[in-house]
Structure 1
Amino acid sequence: MEDLSCYHCGDTIKSRIIFDDKSFCCNGCKTVYEIFSESGLTSYYDMEAAPGAAPSKLEGKYDFLSNEKIVEKLLEFSDEHLQIVSLYIPHIHCSSCIWILENLNKLRPDISASQVDFPKKTIRVTYNSEKINLKELVIFLSSIGYEPYISLEDSEAGAKKINRSIIYKLGVAGFAFGNVMFLSFPEYFEVNEFWLDQYKGLFRWLMFGFSLPVVFYVARDYFISAYKGLRAGILNIDVPLALGVVVLFVRSTLEITFDWGTGFFDSLTGLVFFLTLGKFFQQKTYNFLSFERDYKSYFPIGITRINPEGKEESIHVHDIEKGDRILIRNEELIPVDGILINGNARIDYSFVTGESEAVQKESGDKLFAGGRQVSGMIEMEALKSVSQSYLTKLWSNDVFQVKKEDSFTSFINSISKYFTIVLLLIAFSATAFWLFLDVATAINVFTAVLIIACPCALAMSTPFTLGNLLRIFGNKKFYLKNAGVIEQLANADTVIFDKTGTITSNKKSSIIYEGIDLSAEEEALLKNTLRASNHPLSRTLYDMLAGYDITPPEEFREVTGKGIEAVHQKQLMKVGSAEFVGNKTLVPSLNTSVHISSNNEYKGRYIFHNEYREGAADLFAEFAPEYHLSILSGDNEGEKLRLENLLPEKTEMHFNQKPEDKLNYISKLQQQGRKTIMVGDGLNDAGALAKSEVGIAISENVNVFSPACDAILDASRFGSLYKFIKASKKAMTVIKISMLLSFLYNVVGLYFAVTGQLSPIIAAILMPLSSISIIAFTTVCTNLIGRKI
């Protein structure tokens, strides 16, 4: 009877189960198919034949997930009705897996969202904890063939175990290659009597034996990838490599079976060894860059800690320790898990969950990292130190990703789409020609063509160039959300700057008060009102005022672009624009002003004499010849004359700009075909930062962070912004040159391969060497570019 394979998992059927005219190997696979069928997800099987895995028996295996303390350690986030967990799933291997795992909400309505990280084989699941708990979720995933790997000691243990397989394969291939070369020596040196008379057959079959684990274990990934691609109707780059290995193995086996010759086992094992060595090198290098990215690209965020004496001090988030008492101001991000001590806590967890409705918390409640306080200031006690990798994860959350086209990525995808077809046409055409002249040469030509023209170097030029530059930028205090931002920086032709807190320095402003003197009680309330705000002018004025006892306002409200108001013991304090505080008749000052009213009685204004950042004039002079420059300011035109003297002549200046005005201005430029960079302080500019091709937030060690921005620039490196953008342009040039080099590699290699002058083993050596040389070229070039910043 013909062997049948399971419709779901592809395993050979021993005991056939028929359902819906389809064959299954067990009731588990049949049940999974039923679940998918009932939920309208049978297109899962259209993407790839037998993409699933047979569900395993789980009786009692996950009982430990009934322990709340254990579950708490595994959860990323937990609130009244919502929990988020990231699980490592080793079985994730193809597009079908991604599709079904990101449609879990169609299988279980109590799962609201699921997001797969394919390279890390992880899934981040958001679910209703009242309807399904973590244990039930894990059992459900296992029931559809995606059993998570859970290790309480090390959540990454599973991933590390899987990643070590390439080392085992490299060892097997190296051992086999060395022994096959040793056994080939008699023929190389033509030791005729000894070789032909006694040990010829033994040595040849030993070489065959050594080749078996190389072909069926080490090279297995190429076969699987090629097979899955063909079943899905895709000619991926592993098809020619797998074909080359098969041709060498079959031809060599036939030669020793019929005593036609010694075969190509040396070339075969050498080919697979060098392919594996190249893959190992690429993986190690890319992992290194990824590690540098995770470790180096932290946000330049500070936080206010209240010391045992009750005094406030600004510290870096890395310095937060368990038990520290932390002050979180309005619109600040909570950097660590903690317990609320006091204050009116309304936490916006949309950065974590995607849900915009703020959650009310009371003293003693647990607060999770990633939430944003949106109702005044609060005090909390840290339960752990900051996890910077978590903040990186938060910043990269797909909820806030705006799809921006990466032309190089799409260019490479379009190349790879046709590359294999062209390569196979060349290989078969050249082989057909050589078959009329020399069969042995034809086989060599066929395998050499398939091997030498691998586009690995082409595919790696972009990620290695951008990845290394990402690391360099991080070292120099310019933190990018991802490598794609570099390409957007290089393509930009317009740079737009906010004024207050961006080109002006908060730390160097001088302040003069005009108006009715404030009583000590009013000034204390003003100080405590400003204490809750993160606006640059609020922070500057707060630092200038005399010290008073800390008495948090009972009510607090901040209106973006207008001002703030607070109530304490029935006394109302408003701070902001003249219109906001209730004075519409006042003649505007020529300088930036913050107006004050107490109990709706206008008191006066603080006039700021701005100091522009060091190097601002030089920076604009660098930008002027190549870029369209604009200043968008929420202030009046008081600084216009000073700015005209400071900035290049053609710089556009727009004043009295509300957040929506800035957003509309950028939209108008984009309609004209311009590629924009918006540089702001991350507060009133959030909409403009998100709308522009690249949004850059300037940070002065303040814990204000928005996923709307694509990059964060430390204020101390403001004068280097042009150099960062210029470096991005140079990086794109490096990619173009490396692509050209890769193309030349392929053209020259194909010439020697087609003309029969290149043996398969030399091709196998040259292929990873070409990749290594491209990696070396891009790394050296980007390091040289980085030195000039």
Structure 2
Amino acid sequence: MDTQSCFHCGLEVIQKEEIVFDGKSFCCRGCKTVYEIFADNGLSSYYDFERTPGATPQAVNGRYDFLDNEKIAERLLEFQEEGTSIVSLYIPHIHCSSCIWILENLHRLHKGIGTSQVNFSEKKVRIIFNPQETSLKDIVLMLCSIGYEPYISLENYESGKQGTDRSLIYKLGVAFFCFGNIMLLSFPEYFETEEFWLDQYRGFFRWLIFALSLPSFLYSASGYYVSAYKSIRNGMFNIDIPIALGIIVMFVRSTVDIVFGYGQGFFDSLTALVFFMLVGRLFQQKTYSFLSFERDFKSYFPIAVTQINTQQQEVSVPVYDIQKGDRLLIRNQELIPVDGILISKGCQIDYSFVTGEADPIRKESGDKIYAGGRLLGQPIEMEVLSSVSQSYLTQLWSNAVFEKKSTQHRRSITDAISRYFTPALLFIAVAGFGYWIFRDANTAFNVFTAVLIVACPCALALTAPFTMGNILRIMGRQKLYLKNAGVIEQLAKTDMIVFDKTGTITTSKASDIAFTGVLPSATELSYIKNLLRGSNHPLSRRLYEFLPAAALRTVHGFEESTGKGIEGIIDGNCIKLGAASYVGCTEAANTAQTAVHIAINNDYKGSYTFDNQYRKGLEQLFDSLSQRYDLKILSGDNDGERAQLEKMLPLGTELLFNQKPEQKLEAIKNWQEQGHNVMMVGDGLNDAGALAQSSVGISISENVNVFSPACDGILDATEFTQLAYFLKLSKKALATIKMSFALSLLYNFVGLSFAVSGRLSPLVAAIIMPLSTVTIISFVTLASNYYARKLNPKKGRA
């Protein structure tokens, strides 16, 4: 009977059951309906990225009626505010570029959906929708109708993880059972024990071995067939093609041997190959899971939050020490690290980091506020509802909204090698078979199979991710927390380093502060301290700690102008703090010292001047960096300390003062246009734009919560002098990758030499292949740990 493929899902269409619509064949009404939905909404491009990418939609039959329960639906949501809700759904069918395209265009299928973003590696789609126009149930049913049914488990969502895929464990168990029994039944053949292995039993045991090989061949190895088929169908070459071909060739050859009585075949080698390959795959999966676990739960951001203790004192505590019931003080521009209840009268919160929406949301006392929002305006107090979720902050930090550059170059190198490796491998296998077939048919099949097995490029593909993963872990232990592995490569390519001054190369831990002018009264000092309480600028924090304790007062109309100053109304008095020009004192505008000027009711009072304390080891760090990098200082302060900095810093270091935040960004952009790979090191507040523009943006964190998702890394201030070490380590990481590439290619060359010459059996090849993976992973781990210890001036810390 004639058959052809369904245009939507690719399954075979029996002629009498064929449904023809719009000149295309479909296997069922479900596939035809999905095609109509896409066509009616202008989404026919879904079929242009991949051939037959879809899945047949299944009937749900009330399966998701539980989502009508609002309490259950709320537990599945990551974020919920008036007009905006966010949910992440796990969708097992995500497998190709067409899936990504259609799932990121869901807003064209449903008006209630704002945006949708796919995490391909985790098979998740993060959907932002308007709960006033649609519901979570409607979205789930819509996904089911187009063949992308989500997997929903309340237990898994509560724990923050999807169900573990145990299919690999089952396949490995079946493969081991088949392999062990076939080896046992093959012993008489190995030792040629004719007195026991009688002719009348030989055939029976051979066919029993054949039967035992079928579960391993058909079930355990099925993943390789599916992967190879999809790769060929999409016109690509992946590493599973030669593996699948080798298994099939070995099975066919062994079956022919038994049918025609040539021998027992290679079923022992076949099942051994499948077993050892699955062991290697399980090893990879467990190692990746380990790296992912460390990334999500141990890479704590070195930020702190201000806690109000039982004595009503404000103390900075590590963000991951916050517990339910704690009371927190959140200042202007600070990120809210936990879900909680607003205690203060009211506030404006910017949730653009979470939702992408720029409009702030008004919250009143008693309202629930969500982690990830940034406070706008005067400080607030909140009560914590749950302890901080570092995995949530990591997710926020890794949001694609903040991807500013391509970091895919490293992966593309690996993909390119695998793409050329597979056809070259097939050519060698066919050539070796063609050479031996005219000399020894048995050797020819052995050569063909051994070549396909021994030269698997798995180890080649693993070297880069495992090296980068281990370097991420090492840097995290030493308090440099990078957004992703791609940042390491960008660090290695850096040729220019730009530093902010205040809060970056200076420390807020110690400084001399003096007042010039008419000394404010005790009441006025109280006004100043209460206004400073809401600001996160390094000078504000230092002055706040310097001033004497004062009773809390309500600040109305709090406003902070980035790079200029702050103002607010207390007890009917207008207080302004900041630059001389901001408070209206033109006479003091040209002062040469770093200062915070004060005006109360437009009456200039004077200024607090700061004798900046530079971080210990700064001169040695700059001397070390100047040997390899072009160094710059970008500061928003005046140039009063130019002479002092010129004495401390290497000759030729460019110093730029009086730079507004937008000028810092433009300066970075200009240097990039000149061909430089620029790393910006700032405090994450006034430098947010420059950090985002730079090739690598590193935010220095001391004791305030000014984390910016736009940065690429967060460095604990105590490790500032380790910058040169981290840069050297990133270069050694790339060197390790190149060495492991060479080692893997050398292994393949030696293995192929033995395989082509007929001196390598398929069984030995199957054992060697996973061992090569273990060897490469061990090499990159040992090499990266060695460099971490060798380069680190603080010995033994890696």
Contact map agreement 2:103 2:118 (CA 8 A) in 1: yes
Tell me how far 1:244 sits from its aligned partner.
0.6
Contact map agreement 2:433 2:444 (CA 8 A) in 1: yes
Contact map agreement 1:47 1:232 (CA 8 A) in 2: no
Structure 2 equivalent of residue 9 of structure 1: 9
Structure 1 equivalent of residue 796 of structure 2: none
Distance 1:33 1:650 in 2: 65
Once superposed, what is the RMSD of the aligned Cα atoms?
1.7
Most deviating of 134-143 and 582-591: 582-591
3-state SS of the aligned residue for 2:781? helix
Amino acid at match of 1:338: G
Distance 1:206 1:97 in 2: 44
Structure 1 equivalent of residue 625 of structure 2: 623
Most deviating of 711-720 and 21-30: 21-30
After superposition, the Cα gap between the structure-2 partners of 1:588 and 1:157, relative to the gap in structure 1 and judged at 3 Å, is: closer
3-state SS of the aligned residue for 1:533? coil
Amino acid at match of 2:9: C
Amino acid at match of 1:347: I
Tell me how far 1:16 sits from its aligned partner.
4.2
3-state SS of the aligned residue for 1:124? strand
Q: Work out whether 1:326 is the aligned partner of 2:328.
A: yes
Structure 2 equivalent of residue 65 of structure 1: 67
* Partner deviation per Cα, 1:360-388 (whole Å, 9 max, x = no partner): 22222221110101122112222111111
Most deviating of 22-31 and 114-123: 22-31
Contact map agreement 1:336 1:382 (CA 8 A) in 2: yes
Tell me how far 1:406 sits from its aligned partner.
4.4
Contact map agreement 2:206 2:258 (CA 8 A) in 1: yes
Contact map agreement 1:505 1:613 (CA 8 A) in 2: yes
Structure 1 equivalent of residue 364 of structure 2: 362
Distance 1:10 1:289 in 2: 36
Q: Work out whether 1:737 is the aligned partner of 2:739.
A: yes
Most deviating of 482-491 and 162-171: 162-171
Distance 1:93 1:634 in 2: 49
Structure 2 equivalent of residue 419 of structure 1: 421
Matches within 5 A, 1:715-734: 715-734=717-736
Structure 2 equivalent of residue 385 of structure 1: 387
Amino acid at match of 1:266: D
Identify which of 246, 249, 273 aligns with 2:248: 246
Structure 2 equivalent of residue 277 of structure 1: 279
Distance 1:25 1:301 in 2: 56
Distance 2:389 2:159 in 1: 19
Amino acid at match of 1:9: C
Distance 2:513 2:160 in 1: 58
Identify which of 47, 52, 55 aligns with 1:53: 55
Matches within 5 A, 1:739-758: 739-758=741-760
Distance 1:93 1:24 in 2: 21
3-state SS of the aligned residue for 1:241? helix
Amino acid at match of 1:682: G
Amino acid at match of 1:566: G
Matches within 5 A, 1:562-641: 562-586=564-588, 588-641=590-643
Amino acid at match of 2:472: L
Structure 2 equivalent of residue 678 of structure 1: 680
Distance 1:691 1:570 in 2: 41
Matches within 5 A, 1:639-678: 639-678=641-680
Identify which of 669, 689, 692 aligns with 2:691: 689
Runs of 4+ off more than 6 Å: 156-159
Tell me how far 1:512 sits from its aligned partner.
0.2
Tell me how far 1:3 sits from its aligned partner.
4.7
Distance 1:405 1:390 in 2: 22
Structure 2 equivalent of residue 143 of structure 1: 145
Structure 2 equivalent of residue 545 of structure 1: 547
Matches within 5 A, 1:449-528: 449-528=451-530
Distance 1:313 1:67 in 2: 42
3-state SS of the aligned residue for 1:720? helix
Tell me how far 1:181 sits from its aligned partner.
1.2
Distance 2:193 2:61 in 1: 64
Identify which of 217, 234, 237 aligns with 1:235: 237
* Partner deviation per Cα, 1:682-723 (whole Å, 9 max, x = no partner): 111111111111110000121111112100000011111111
Contact map agreement 1:377 1:552 (CA 8 A) in 2: no
Tell me how far 1:271 sits from its aligned partner.
0.9
Amino acid at match of 1:254: V
Distance 1:170 1:588 in 2: 75
Contact map agreement 1:327 1:379 (CA 8 A) in 2: yes
- The aligned length equals 789
Contact map agreement 2:90 2:162 (CA 8 A) in 1: no
Contact map agreement 1:343 1:377 (CA 8 A) in 2: no
Amino acid at match of 1:586: A
Most deviating of 22-31 and 314-323: 22-31
Contact map agreement 1:581 1:600 (CA 8 A) in 2: yes
Distance 1:50 1:683 in 2: 49
After superposition, the Cα gap between the structure-2 partners of 1:268 and 1:161, relative to the gap in structure 1 and judged at 3 Å, is: farther
Distance 1:587 1:118 in 2: 54
Structure 2 equivalent of residue 299 of structure 1: 301
3-state SS of the aligned residue for 1:163? coil
Most deviating of 558-567 and 43-52: 43-52
Tell me how far 1:60 sits from its aligned partner.
2.5
Amino acid at match of 1:742: S
Structure 2 equivalent of residue 79 of structure 1: 81
Contact map agreement 2:111 2:133 (CA 8 A) in 1: no
Amino acid at match of 1:321: Q
Contact map agreement 1:528 1:553 (CA 8 A) in 2: yes
* Partner deviation per Cα, 1:180-208 (whole Å, 9 max, x = no partner): 11122111111234325122111111111
Q: Work out whether 1:434 is the aligned partner of 2:436.
A: yes
After superposition, the Cα gap between the structure-2 partners of 1:759 and 1:47, relative to the gap in structure 1 and judged at 3 Å, is: farther
Structure 2 equivalent of residue 126 of structure 1: 128
Contact map agreement 2:514 2:610 (CA 8 A) in 1: yes
Amino acid at match of 1:496: V
Tell me how far 1:764 sits from its aligned partner.
1.3
Tell me how far 1:308 sits from its aligned partner.
3.5
Identify which of 407, 410, 413 aligns with 2:409: 407
3-state SS of the aligned residue for 2:44? coil
Structure 2 equivalent of residue 533 of structure 1: 535
Amino acid at match of 2:558: F
Contact map agreement 1:298 1:388 (CA 8 A) in 2: yes
Sequence identity, in percent? 59
TM-score (norm 2): 0.96
Most deviating of 150-159 and 551-560: 150-159
Structure 2 equivalent of residue 103 of structure 1: 105
Distance 1:343 1:421 in 2: 68
3-state SS of the aligned residue for 1:109? coil
Contact map agreement 1:404 1:693 (CA 8 A) in 2: no
* Partner deviation per Cα, 1:291-327 (whole Å, 9 max, x = no partner): 1111221211111122344322222222222222211
3-state SS of the aligned residue for 2:155? coil
Identify which of 201, 204, 207 aligns with 1:202: 204
Most deviating of 579-588 and 766-775: 579-588
Distance 1:28 1:491 in 2: 51
Distance 1:544 1:237 in 2: 64
Amino acid at match of 2:373: G
Distance 1:158 1:325 in 2: 25
Tell me how far 1:526 sits from its aligned partner.
0.9
Contact map agreement 2:178 2:216 (CA 8 A) in 1: yes
Tell me how far 1:395 sits from its aligned partner.
0.1
Most deviating of 196-205 and 133-142: 196-205
Distance 1:612 1:32 in 2: 64
After superposition, the Cα gap between the structure-2 partners of 1:589 and 1:762, relative to the gap in structure 1 and judged at 3 Å, is: same
Distance 1:348 1:587 in 2: 33
Tell me how far 1:17 sits from its aligned partner.
3.6
Contact map agreement 1:151 1:157 (CA 8 A) in 2: no
Contact map agreement 1:344 1:377 (CA 8 A) in 2: no
Contact map agreement 1:149 1:158 (CA 8 A) in 2: no
